[in-house]
A and B are shown apart, each in its own frame.
Chain A
Amino acid sequence: MSNTQLSYSESQLASHLNTQPKVVDSEWLAELKEKGRDNFLTRGFPDRRQENWKYTDIRTKFRDNSFDAPYDNGSREKSRIVDEDILRVVVQDGKLTSIPSELPKGIAIRTLEDVLQNDEFFLRRYLGENRALPKDGMISLNSALLQKGLVVTVEPGGIIDQTIYIERFSNVPWNSIESGRDIIQLGERSSVKIVEVFVSSVSQFSLTHNVSEVYVEKGATLEHAKFQLEGNTVNHITTIAAEVSEGATFKNFEISNGGDTVRNETYVNLLGEGAHASLSGVFLKAGKEHCDTTTVVNHIAPDCTCNEEFRGILAERARGVFQGKIGVAKNAQKSDGRMMTRALLLSDRAEMDAKPELEIYADDVKCAHGATIGSLDNEALFYLRSRGIPEVQAKTLLMRAFVSEAIQDFGDEIIRESANQLIEQKLEFLSRGGYEQF
């Protein structure tokens, strides 16, 4: 199958979509794809005219194809967690290439194709059905291109102690889209930790586009982390849509270290009483890199809580965006929501746009949001250096302190340790002056 080209005009993309070969004989899926295609043709790539994409005009981005000189961030080698206590799954260009021969009892990891052939009923229940999923051109395109993806399911009561570590390598041709759709479904009272790492080889102008539909049933706990480490010519847009039921917890943590234009979207519906969502992340950008963090958390049932903590550091001409919205429905009394974003600008050409929003229809709620944008504390830097700590090291130390608050409460020791290692490398790169040092 030929790859889907980014630089196609939308109408060319349409004819390409029309000639896609059938994955399997499923009328249901064919219809879903067709609907996706039609919707994409109406909506097109999102651009600044859409409120939700105001700061990340990807239509223009894909038309202009401009990016920094390729730089090998070595992430592919460095991203490997060496620990016996993790379950390693490898996905190469969207295809599952390696999976432990034995998984713990209670968890299954299958490909979308596999599930389609053997359990179409499951897919019909969960695929494209997530109530938190937004309706825009990107999601439509993802549906139109539906073919590759992972389905992770945990049985009710299944407590998975080992961390599932999914390494996603992409090495797609110049200008193509790597499109995937995943489903993560946790049965009642189950729990699992999943880390997904996105890496690529350098110098391929491409788009990684992944949509995950997440279902956390009653009393279950999902801790999900994404380490986004692709080369600096890879654009990356991922959408996580999560339905969180009564007494369930969904924690999501992301590191955005790599990529060119990156957008991390998280949409959460807190559907049952006492559901909890915790979203946190760190973005570290230099050159002309762009990182958009978009979150929407809807409190639909009473007594739900959410906590958001994002930290970003922007060097050179990098641009950060935070759009966060907490919505509280009319009967979602006693909702408790907190949203905080802080950014450090290392250069006066760097830019951060923060747009926190509350939309509250209930009267008995506690909601707070805050955003700060600042620069490195020169006094602190002087103090550290006056003790003999060289400038680069002192800056790295201060930056690490700045981002640490977004990491400290997530996952287990192994996840935090590897997160810290990954961050350390990029912080040093930023301290040395980003791309300009070369």
Chain B
Amino acid sequence: MSLLEIKDLHVEVSGKEILKGINLEIEAGKVHAIMGPNGSGKSTLSYTLSGREGYNITSGSILFKGQDLTELSIDERAAAGVFLAFQYPIEIPGVTNMTFLRTAVNAQRKARGEGEMDAASFLRFVREKAAELKVSDDMLKRPLNVGFSGGEKKRNEILQMALLEPSLAVLDETDSGLDIDALKVVSEGVNALRDPERAMLVITHYQRLLDHIVPDVVHVLANGRIIKTGGKDLALELEKSGYEGLIESAA
């Protein structure tokens, strides 16, 4: 059984069909990459998986660990192990990053019937992961994402992933806005989480990221459909020839 099984998924946003029949299976332990032109529906797919309001599934199904994912609320999906690293992380004034991280970790532990982490052990846990991802103490103390640079926001997303240890991580353009060093740090962070029990769906426009996080499977999403699936070499091919030829031959 695959970790994630998406069958003939159609999704409407504001009455407009954006996803037009997605079929996608991801096994535990695998890394899949999705590439595709702007506006093709990549973020829409990631939001649909997280259960965001306004993303209406008109037909098709999503099974996660054999369970109907669409029956779960946003936070239940997270507790079940779905994580989305946002393309544009949200700024929340008045809630410190630290408070947010602790609330999230403890909420998920509670939902899974595990005990909450006390303040001291959590601090140790966070400090260790933050150091690996070069997230400064200052960033932990500040209000969530407020005034963070683009790259800092992305590193903070990966810190959340490292703390929450999801079984399915969807990374929506985590590489955009990262400088060369940060890209390395983030990729190492992601690779450290590669695990036979865990799958990843990496959305990106650039081959560069896939040099660091080497995918098992690459899909091309265009106009709401997956029009091609291949190995890691597909990304190299796209880098050279672009999407146009592919889209034409699929049409």
Are A and B interaction partners?
yes
**Cβ–Cβ < 8 Å partners of A405 in chain B:** 94
CB pair A402–B94 under 8 Å, yes or no, is yes
Chain A residue, CB-CB nearest to B108: A388
Known: A386-B50, A386-B84, A394-B75. A380 touches B103 (CB 8 A): no
Chain B residue, CB-CB nearest to A399: B94
Known: A382-B53, A383-B86, A394-B75. A389 touches B95 (CB 8 A): no
16 further contact pairs, Cβ within 8 A, besides A383-B90, A385-B74, A397-B95: A380-B92, A383-B86, A384-B92, A384-B100, A384-B104, A386-B52, A386-B74, A386-B77, A386-B83, A388-B107, A388-B111, A389-B104, A391-B73, A400-B95, A401-B94, A402-B94
- Tell me if A378 counts as interface (CB < 8 A to partner B): yes
CA distance A379 to B89 in the complex (A): 10
Chain A residue, CB-CB nearest to B84: A386
Map CB proximity to B onto A393-421 as digits: 1 under 8 Å, 0 otherwise. Answer: 11001101110110000000000000000
Residues in B8-34 with C-beta less than 8 Å from chain A = none
19 A-B pairs (CB sep. < 8 Å): A380-B90, A382-B52, A382-B74, A383-B86, A383-B90, A385-B75, A386-B83, A387-B100, A388-B107, A388-B108, A388-B111, A388-B164, A389-B107, A393-B103, A397-B103, A398-B94, A398-B95, A401-B92, A405-B94
CB pair B160–A387 under 8 Å, yes or no, is yes
**B residues at A contact (CB < 8 Å):** 50-53, 73-75, 77-79, 83-84, 86, 89-90, 92-95, 99-100, 103-104, 107-108, 111, 143, 160, 164
CB pair B75–A389 under 8 Å, yes or no, is yes
Known: A387-B160, A388-B79, A389-B75. A378 touches B53 (CB 8 A): yes
**Cβ–Cβ < 8 Å partners of B51 in chain A:** 386
**Cβ–Cβ < 8 Å partners of A386 in chain B:** 50-52, 74-75, 77-78, 83-84
**Interface pairs A-B: 9 shortest CB-CB:** A401-B94, A388-B78, A387-B104, A388-B108, A385-B74, A383-B90, A385-B75, A389-B107, A401-B95
**Interface residue count on the A side (C-beta < 8 Å):** 23
CA distance A378 to B90 in the complex (A): 11
B110 to chain A, nearest CB (A): 9
- Tell me if A100 counts as interface (CB < 8 A to partner B): no
CA distance A14 to B66 in the complex (A): 76
B69 to chain A, nearest CB (A): 13
B43 to chain A, nearest CB (A): 13
Query: Which of A385, A388, A397: most chain B CB closer than 10 A?
Result: A388
Query: Which of B53, B92, B111: most chain A CB closer than 10 A?
Result: B92
Chain A residue, CB-CB nearest to B160: A387
CA distance A398 to B100 in the complex (A): 11
CB pair B103–A383 under 8 Å, yes or no, is no
- Tell me if A390 counts as interface (CB < 8 A to partner B): yes
CB pair A385–B78 under 8 Å, yes or no, is yes
**Cβ–Cβ < 8 Å partners of A389 in chain B:** 75, 103-104, 107
CA distance A158 to B202 in the complex (A): 66
A81 to chain B, nearest CB (A): 23
CA distance A341 to B185 in the complex (A): 43
Chain A residue, CB-CB nearest to B78: A388
Chain B residue, CB-CB nearest to A378: B53
Map CB proximity to B onto A369-386 as digits: 1 under 8 Å, 0 otherwise. Answer: 000000001111011111
CA distance A394 to B95 in the complex (A): 11
**Cβ–Cβ < 8 Å partners of B103 in chain A:** 389, 393, 397
